[in-house]
């Protein structure tokens, strides 16, 4: 491998000096060669030992300059720029190639010589396609055809090493680079941040600095809330955590001091940490770049590739099946407060075809099915907690402290108040949710029938365990008879902002949808289809919930950060619906009990129950919460079998006896 690397490095350095191709093509290959030269420089410097912070900062500035807003737009990383220089098909393909080659930075950081070498060889092979076909009419059209074939077989043939690496890093306790960074670095010397090989900026640096200012007691509180949520998740679902040996930790760069303590906490209950590459988040400096390249896999994504990937996924799990069996599930630290940007649809971007979208749904379903064979869903759990980023504003420290307060609210208080709400909800045959102040929501939600109210309940009483912070009651609605309109004037779902988001339902399934993000209805529908429906023609309502964390809602108003809350917190700040799978997907047969001892029986709907006959039709592998803010909420009530209307919320305030405490932050 070392010999292959030295040979391909030498060839790339020669490409930077070549003058074989027509100017527009030679400029592109020379441009990418210059970038790869910076990667070689990074590798050489690491070989000499630890990089000082100033040296690392300067080096990474060069490595990531093309992703920076203001530079990106005039680099070959931008499909629009590449198409302008090279033509529509050539530009789109070669821009995608350059984007893929940027992974070489990570392979250097992780000392993955094989990964680095095969990526470099890919670049040289594709350059060779253009050199070989540099003469004659239509030569470059043929060169592109050859290059695309090389690109396809790169992903097809090397799927084995990439998939195997992902699986092993998931289920095997990690004592490699990431573990070493967390446990053995001097976290007061911020040069450690650059060891990840990722783009380090304001958020990562200031977050690390802030955590260094906190006392050990404060760090202990943060870590204990996180790890106890994970442990309690097993306890409340009556799963045996003692059978597990590994907890996967996902975290944003900059929070290593908290993660170090979390690892120690997990060790105390018999769990070692696994850390995946994809689980280490650094906030994206350029959302438009990510958006432009999100469908690049369309260049090689076909049935042959998918079947190959599924085959090697199964083989990879077979190799570590014993370790997979004792994998406990993910413990996730999310972040929020990134600067929001308006995304643009660029016609030059690579896009997935309709057939590829259907194939992607198949791929996700089969991949999930294989994973569950080796990591049974009914034996694992998870937890999620969120903290703000420094870019949330000048009062970051105040918001961080407020978030800590929200994350550690008295769960006993909420448990008791939420039980009063559930007692009323359990009287209903269906619920009615109506908007106000311009919100067009008007939806009827059918509720699961109860056989024995003394032992059964429809809604789960969610306190602070797997989903931190505390504050919601939720159910899986009966689909048949659930109908109406769901509307939200403004909401962020994942990375994307949606304006005037509107869904219509019949028998609990999406029949129509729109938003007002773009100028044309076609663009608006595609935006929702890609990022909420995830290429499904329709989705059912998988969850109806009432968020009760009015303290979080108030904080969102006071600090004007409601639009920056992650779904984890946003879903607790008001009533919400989720489209996609139920909250109990893949675990519907596991009994679930509320703190009062009643079994939550509304775990299934008429689609998820299909798992007993045809699992491929039972799940969609997505679940997106859409929250209605209190100021747009006119009414939530339930209607009993006798026709009585029992209000839960009226004009944005809780009206059930004993819930008045929740209204104080709303006043």
pLDDT in tens, 254-289: 999 999 999 999 999 999 999 998 888 877 789 999
**Predicted local distance difference test score (pLDDT) of residue 558:** 93
- Sign of the Cα pseudo-torsion (103, 369, 616, 161, in order): positive
Is pLDDT above 90 for 397? yes
The answer to whether residues 505 and 478 belong to one domain is: yes
Residues 6+ apart with CB under 8 A from 573: 547, 549, 550, 552, 553, 556, 562, 565, 627, 629, 630
Confidence of residue 239 (pLDDT cuts 50, 70, 90): confident
The answer to whether residues 49 and 172 belong to one domain is: no
- Sequence-distant contacts of 401-406: CB under 8 A, at least 24 apart: 402/555, 402/559, 403/555, 404/218, 404/221, 404/222, 405/551, 406/469, 406/549, 406/551, 406/552, 406/555, 406/569
For the chain, the average pLDDT equals 93
Q: Domain residues for 376?
A: 168-383
233-253 mean pLDDT: 91
The answer to whether residues 335 and 420 belong to one domain is: no
Residue pLDDT, tens place only, 495-523: 788 999 999 999 999 999 999 999 999 99
DSSP letter, residue 193: G
The answer to whether residue 493 is domain-embedded is yes
Three-class DSSP category at 137: coil
The answer to whether residues 478 and 584 belong to one domain is: yes
Task: Report how far residue 379's alpha carbon sits from residue 546's, in angstroms, rounded to the nearest whole number.
Answer: 28
The answer to whether residue 433 is domain-embedded is yes
| CB of 459 closer than 8 Å to CB of 476 | no
Is pLDDT above 90 for 99? yes
DSSP letter, residue 427: T
The answer to whether residues 217 and 149 belong to one domain is: no
Last residue of a domain, one of 349, 383, 417: 383
CA 389, chain centre distance (Å): 16
Three-class DSSP category at 385: strand
The answer to whether residues 363 and 448 belong to one domain is: no
The answer to whether residue 390 is domain-embedded is no
Angle, alpha carbons 429-430-431 (nearest 5°): 140
Is pLDDT above 70 for 246? yes
Task: Report how far residue 225's alpha carbon sits from residue 400's, in angstroms, rounded to the nearest whole number.
Answer: 15
Locate 349 and state its tokens: 């971007």
The answer to whether residue 396 is domain-embedded is no
Locate 601 and state its tokens: 């029986």
The answer to whether residues 140 and 237 belong to one domain is: no
Query: Quick one: how many helices (H) and strands (E) in the chain?
Result: 22, 20
60-67 mean pLDDT: 95
> Measured between alpha carbons, how far apart are the two ends of the chain, in Å?
67
Q: At 638, which helix (H) or strand (E)?
A: strand 633-639
DSSP letter, residue 611: G
The answer to whether residue 398 is domain-embedded is no
The answer to whether residues 298 and 357 belong to one domain is: yes
Closest-CA residue to 629 (of 371, 439, 469): 439
**Predicted local distance difference test score (pLDDT) of residue 138:** 64
**Predicted local distance difference test score (pLDDT) of residue 494:** 75
Confidence of residue 377 (pLDDT cuts 50, 70, 90): confident
Task: Report how far residue 324's alpha carbon sits from residue 171's, in angstroms, rounded to the nearest whole number.
Answer: 5
The answer to whether residue 397 is domain-embedded is no
The percentage of the chain sitting over the pLDDT mark of 70, rounded to a whole number, equals 99
605-630 mean pLDDT: 90
Select the more confidently predicted residue: 555 or 239: 555
| 633-639/430-435 β-pairing | antiparallel
Q: Phi and psi (nearest 5°) for 182?
A: -70, -50
Count Cβ atoms within 10 A of the Cβ of residue 90 and give its class: 0-12 exposed, 13-18 middle, 19 or more buried: buried
**Predicted local distance difference test score (pLDDT) of residue 47:** 94
**Predicted local distance difference test score (pLDDT) of residue 166:** 94
The answer to whether residue 560 is domain-embedded is yes
Three-class DSSP category at 185: coil
Angle, alpha carbons 600-601-606 (nearest 5°): 135
**Predicted local distance difference test score (pLDDT) of residue 137:** 60
Confidence of residue 132 (pLDDT cuts 50, 70, 90): confident
Q: How many domains does the chain have?
A: 3
635-641 mean pLDDT: 96
Strands in 295-378 per DSSP E: 327-336
**Predicted local distance difference test score (pLDDT) of residue 136:** 60
**Predicted local distance difference test score (pLDDT) of residue 467:** 80
**Predicted local distance difference test score (pLDDT) of residue 223:** 96
**Predicted local distance difference test score (pLDDT) of residue 615:** 77
The answer to whether residues 308 and 423 belong to one domain is: no
Task: Report how far residue 54's alpha carbon sits from residue 60's, in angstroms, rounded to the nearest whole number.
Answer: 10
Alpha helices in 158-201 (DSSP H): 159-171, 177-184
Confidence of residue 135 (pLDDT cuts 50, 70, 90): low
Last residue of a domain, one of 132, 154, 176: 154
Residues 6+ apart with CB under 8 A from 570: 491, 492, 562, 576, 625, 627
463-476 mean pLDDT: 86
The answer to whether residues 549 and 580 belong to one domain is: yes
Cis peptide before 137 (omega within 30 of 0): no
| CB of 296 closer than 8 Å to CB of 350 | yes
Is pLDDT above 80 for 60? yes
**Predicted local distance difference test score (pLDDT) of residue 464:** 64
Q: Give this prediction's pTM.
A: 0.87
The answer to whether residues 376 and 243 belong to one domain is: yes
The answer to whether residues 295 and 195 belong to one domain is: yes
The percentage of the chain sitting over the pLDDT mark of 90, rounded to a whole number, equals 79
| CB of 469 closer than 8 Å to CB of 407 | yes
The answer to whether residue 389 is domain-embedded is no
**Predicted local distance difference test score (pLDDT) of residue 410:** 86
Locate 202 and state its tokens: 């304001």
């Amino acid at each position: 491998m070392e010999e292959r690397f030295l040979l391909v490095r030498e060839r790339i350095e020669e490409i930077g000096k070549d003058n074989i191709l027509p100017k527009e093509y030679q400029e592109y290959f020379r441009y990418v060669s210059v970038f790869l030269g910076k990667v070689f420089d990074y590798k050489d410097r690491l070989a000499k030992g630890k990089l000082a912070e100033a040296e690392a900062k300067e080096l990474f500035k060069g490595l990531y300059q093309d992703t920076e807003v203001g530079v990106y737009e005039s680099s070959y990383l931008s499909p629009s720029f590449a198409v302008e220089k090279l033509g529509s098909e050539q530009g789109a393909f070669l821009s995608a190639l350059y984007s893929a080659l940027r992974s070489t930075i990570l392979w250097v950081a992780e000392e993955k010589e094989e990964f680095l070498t095969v990526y470099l060889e890919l670049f040289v092979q594709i350059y060779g396609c253009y050199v070989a076909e540099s003469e004659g009419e239509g030569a470059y059209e043929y060169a592109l055809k050859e290059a695309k074939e090389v690109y396809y077989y790169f992903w097809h043939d090397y799927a084995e090493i990439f998939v195997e690496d992902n699986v092993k890093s998931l289920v095997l306790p990690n004592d490699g680079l990431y573990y070493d960074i967390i446990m053995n670095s001097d976290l007061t010397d911020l040069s450690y941040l650059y060891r990840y090989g990722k783009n380090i900026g304001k958020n990562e640096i200031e977050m690390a600095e802030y955590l260094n200012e906190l006392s050990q007691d404060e760090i202990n509180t943060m870590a204990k809330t996180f790890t106890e949520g994970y442990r309690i998740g097993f306890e409340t679902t009556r799963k045996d955590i003692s059978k597990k040996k590994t907890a996967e930790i996902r975290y944003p760069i900059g929070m290593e001091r908290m993660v170090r303590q979390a690892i120690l906490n997990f060790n105390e209950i018999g769990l070692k940490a696994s850390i995946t590459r994809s689980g280490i988040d650094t906030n994206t400096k350029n959302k438009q770049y990510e958006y432009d390249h999100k469908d690049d896999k369309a260049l090689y994504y076909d049935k042959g590739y998918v079947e190959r990937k599924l085959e090697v996924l199964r083989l990879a799990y077979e190799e570590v099946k014993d370790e997979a069996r004792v994998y406990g599930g993910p413990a996730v630290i999310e972040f929020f407060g990134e600067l929001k940007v308006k995304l643009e649809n660029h016609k030059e971007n690579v896009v997935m075809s309709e057939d590829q979208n259907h194939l992607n749904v198949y791929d996700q379903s089969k991949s999930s099915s294989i994973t569950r064979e080796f990591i049974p869903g009914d034996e694992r759990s998870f937890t999620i907690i969120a903290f703000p980023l420094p870019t949330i504003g000048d009062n970051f420290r105040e918001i961080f402290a407020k978030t800590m307060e929200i994350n550690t609210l008295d769960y006993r208080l909420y448990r008791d108040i939420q039980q009063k709400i559930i007692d009323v909800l359990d009287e209903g045959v269906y619920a009615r949710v109506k908007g106000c102040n311009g919100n067009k929501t008007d939806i009827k939600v059918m509720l699961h029938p109860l056989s024995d109210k003394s032992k059964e309940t429809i809604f789960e009483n969610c306190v602070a365990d797997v989903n931190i912070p505390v504050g919601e009651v939720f159910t899986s609605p009966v689909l048949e008879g659930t109908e109406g309109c769901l509307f939200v004037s403004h909401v962020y779902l994942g990375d994307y902002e949606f304006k005037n988001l509107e869904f219509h339902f019949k028998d609990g399934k999406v029949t129509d949808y729109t938003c007002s993000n773009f100028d044309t209805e076609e663009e608006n529908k595609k935006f929702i289809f890609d990022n909420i429906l995830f290429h499904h023609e329709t989705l059912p309502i998988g969850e109806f919930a009432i968020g009760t964390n009015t303290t979080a809602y108030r904080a969102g108003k006071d600090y004007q950060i409601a639009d920056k809350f992650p779904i984890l917190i946003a879903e607790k700040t008001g009533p919400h619906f989720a489209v996609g799978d139920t909250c109990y997907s893949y675990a519907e047969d596991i009994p679930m009990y509320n703190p009062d001892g009643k079994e939550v029986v509304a775990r299934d709907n008429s689609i998820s129950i299909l798992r007993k006959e045809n699992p491929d039709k039972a799940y969609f592998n997505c679940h997106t919460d859409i929250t209605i803010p209190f100021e747009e909420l006119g009414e939530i009530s339930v209607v009993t079998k006798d026709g009585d209307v029992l209000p839960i919320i009226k004009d944005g305030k809780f009206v059930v006896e004993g819930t008045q405490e929740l209204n104080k932050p709303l006043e």
